[in-house]
Structure 1
Amino acid sequence: MSTFMIAGLQLNLVNNEDNFYRIQQQVVLAKKRFLQLDMVVLSELATFGSAPRFAQSLPGDAEQRYCQLAMENEIYLVTGSLYQRINDQIYNTCSVISPHGEVICRYQKIYPFLPYETGISSGNEFTTFNIPGVGCFGLSICYDMWFPETVRALCYQGAEVIIHPTLTNTIDRDVELSISRANAAMNQCYMVDINATGELAVGKSIVVGPGGEVIHQAQTNQELILFEVDFDYLRRVREQGWQGLGQPLKSFRDKTIEFPQYQKKLSTSALNKLGPLQKPTSPNLDSSQG
């Protein structure tokens, strides 16, 4: 199969509530309208919002409801993410569920949005999964993509499509659109960057092709973003370059160089001068005044 149909759901969701039934309704409507739909992608923390108190063990009730939803609609379903509790730690975890209602894999966000996403532990494994006869997919969550090594690591493992749920409600969303395009172009992959809207986030989801070209950029309203991944096209771009131009993956593969920033024996004094990772405070506040 050369093509694969994905719908990203940019939904108007409520923070600190169970949004499952809102999500379920939109997934059912999407599949009913587009019978050719293969996969649905939700935004980060779509189910309950950004409160860690909703953390669950996995497998758990919320994930099981998504398993049932995927099976009933015969789709692959990417849950966005849920806060996952493991002993005394909480992770921001994305689950991928098959059309048979089985969890294919889980990915724990490697870069929580520190110093703001406090109390959330960091994952340490890059996660890809293969759909037989289709292609290889990689998982990334929100702040992860600000670190180009993450997407490069996924593509190094074979990922052709990066599924990237996000939850951004700040002024830097426009910067993230540029980062999505840059990651796609540098790694010759599809970037599927799905944000929430309404109370939770500012929307502006984006889908980018392997040349960095914008396939679709949403605005701020609720939206179903339906698009087709063309794997033959992607593989041709990787082999010949986008529009017959650069072949960065081959150059990365063939260049025998050790990047200094990854050599632990080298000094990081320049970065150490930046100080601790903590929330900034106003320079206009005098701490001596009550």
Structure 2
Amino acid sequence: MKVCLINGNPKVGNKKKNIKKIEKIVSSEDADLYVFGEMFLTGYMCREEVFSLAEKEDGESIKKIQEIAKEKGCSIIFGMPVEEREGIVYNAAVLVQPDSVGIYRKNFLANFGPFEEKFYFSEGRDAPIFKTKHCNVGMCICYDIFFPELLKGMAMKGADLIVCISASPTISKNYFESVLPARAIENTVFMAYCNLVGEEEGLTFWGGSQLYSPKGELLVRAEYMKEDYVVYDVNLGMLKEARIARPTLRDTKADIFLDLYNIAKNKEVFNEYVRIGMKIGEKVKNKPINEIDVYGNEDVAFGIRLAVKCDKINLIPSKEIKAVFKGEGEIEISADEVE
């Protein structure tokens, strides 16, 4: 899969001119996926103008860029303000394919130093994965990259390539170049980064669009501080090798994220009985189970249901907590075995 990463310098407020830039690069260079930076369609420093520049998912700009993708038979990722309804706008990454459009809404809005994103944008709430003819793609935007749980979620949902589009000023360069290979290694994914270049209202963007292997190796990087693009032919076969050598996806403990949620919200989502049930269920989660007899209470049964896919669960009220799993044989597991 050939990936083209572009250091783009968009014209603020001029969508037609920026689409022309997309069309020029796509038509002149051969690739399967073209990536442009954060808010490339409108420029980053739009301020209040963002509300008039924003478009809905079926807006004219997306339609025009999809025509470009259809003509070339490629996929294009770019940033833009997406309007959900009147006055509700998201900082979005858009993946346009010849037959589909996928949208990621920025979860973590930068609102410090020169950044004022929370004045204009609503926060995203999800981490979707998008299927292409080559691989599964996750997308994030700039400040999102500093929250590893977001990208871990994408990797656990099946992402092979995670693309981070960005409007990063020079003061942030070292931060990004430190975390990008880490995100690739800890999730065993290809990690692509695409930054703006040039100046907008005193912000100087440094370009340097780059791509890392699932082992954290720098594969290619565009020039710093100038308009440029690079093309790299990604060998997706590297994913298998990396995931065998460093099995971070296999060894990820998803229940730790429940604890993280509890800490962040300062509350308990699951009580002790639910957690015991989950731990019991984890013991057999990869085995074929047709029926489960649960001794205990409804919370224990709920925890087991979360961990094991089984439609038939029989609750037997009891002070003793255990479960009998019925499949190819019978497996009995008590609470004492998991505490």
Fold in common (TM above 0.5): yes
Per-residue deviation, 1:196: 1.3
Change (3 A) 1:72 1:258: closer
Q: Which residue of 2 aligns with 1:207?
A: 211
2:20 is paired with a residue whose SS is helix
RMSD (CA atoms): 2.0
Aligned to 1:286: none
The gaps in structure 2 that reach 5 residues or longer are 268-339
CA contact (8 A) 2:6 2:209 kept: no
Higher helix share: 2
Report the Cα offset of residue 267 of structure 1: 4.1
Question: 1:193-235 CA deviation, whole Å, 9 max, x = no partner?
Answer: 0001122522122211101111122222211211122111112
Give how far 1:182 is off.
0.9
Which residue, out of 32, 36, 61, partners 1:42?
A: 36
Number of the residue aligned with 1:153: 153
What is the DSSP-based 3-state SS (H/G/I as helix, E as strand, rest coil) of the residue aligned with 2:226?
Answer: coil
* Contact in 2 for aligned 1:104/1:129 (Cα 8 Å): no
Matched residues in 2 for 1:180 and 1:114: separation?
21
**In the alignment, is residue 129 of structure 1 matched against residue 133 of structure 2?**
no
Distance 2:61 2:125 in 1: 24
Query: What is the aligned partner in structure 2 of residue 95 from structure 1?
Result: 94
Q: Deviations over 1:162-184 (max 9, x none)?
A: 01111112401221111111101
Could you tell me how far 1:258 is from its partner in structure 2? 6.0
Contact 1:13–1:199 (Cα < 8 Å) also in 2:
no
The match for 1:273 is none
- 1:11 CA drift (Å): 1.8
Distance 2:257 2:8 in 1: 43
Which stretch shows the higher mean deviation, 167-176 or 151-160?
167-176
2:212–2:220 Cα contact (<8 Å) kept? yes
Structure ranking higher on relative contact order (CA contacts 8 Å, 6+ apart): 1
Distance 1:85 1:174 in 2: 33
Q: Is the 8 A contact 1:189 1:209 kept in 2?
A: yes
Q: Indicate the larger mover: 255-264 or 8-17.
A: 255-264
Worse-matched range after superposition: 115-124 or 184-193: 115-124
Match of 2:2 in 1: 5
Give 1:259 shift.
6.1
Correspondences of 1:120-269 after superposition (within 5 Å):
120-132=121-133, 134-200=134-200, 201-218=205-222, 219-239=224-244, 241=245, 246-253=246-253, 257=256, 260-263=259-262, 267=266
Total equivalences in the alignment: 250
Q: Secondary structure at the match of 1:120?
A: coil
Identical positions, percent: 21
Q: Offset of 1:17 from its aligned partner?
A: 2.4
How far apart are 1:264 and its partner, in Å? Answer: 5.1
Q: CA deviation at 1:260?
A: 3.6
Larger % of strand: which? 2
Distance in 1 (CA, whole Å) between partners of 2:12 and 2:34 is 21
- The residue matched to 1:230 in structure 2 has which SS? coil
Alignment of 1:57-136 (within 5 A): 57-78=56-77, 80-87=78-85, 88-98=87-97, 100=98, 102-115=99-112, 116-117=116-117, 118-132=119-133, 134-136=134-136
Distance (whole Å) between structure 1 residues aligned to residue 42 and residue 262 of structure 2: 40
Measure the CA separation in 2 of the matches of 1:168 and 1:187: 23
Deviation at 1:257, TM superposition (A): 4.7
Which amino acid in structure 2 is aligned with residue 25 of structure 1? K
Which amino acid letter does the alignment assign opposite residue 135 of structure 2? G
Paired AA for residue 221 in structure 1: K
Assess if the C-alpha contact under 8 Å between 1:77 and 1:96 holds in 2: yes
Contact 2:5 2:210 in 1 (8 A): no
Q: Distance in 1 between matches of 2:265 and 2:69?
A: 48
State whether residues 14 and 199 of structure 1, in contact with CA within 8 Å, keep that contact through their aligned partners in structure 2: no
Contact 2:162 2:192 in 1 (8 A): yes
Q: Describe the superposition over 1:114-162 as per-residue Cα deviations: whole angstroms up to 9, x where unpaired.
A: 2421220011111111224x32111111111110111100001010100
How far apart, in 1, do the equivalents of 2:216 and 2:165 lie?
Answer: 18
User: Secondary structure of the residue that 1:20 maps to in structure 2?
Assistant: helix
Shift in Å, 1:74: 1.3
Letter in 1 for 2:37: S
User: Structure 1 25/61 Cα, relative in aligned 2: closer, same or farther at 3 Å?
Assistant: same
Q: How far off its partner does 1:256 sit?
A: 6.2
TM-aligned CA distance change 1:256 to 1:84, over 3 Å: closer
Q: Distance in 2 between matches of 1:266 and 1:150?
A: 17
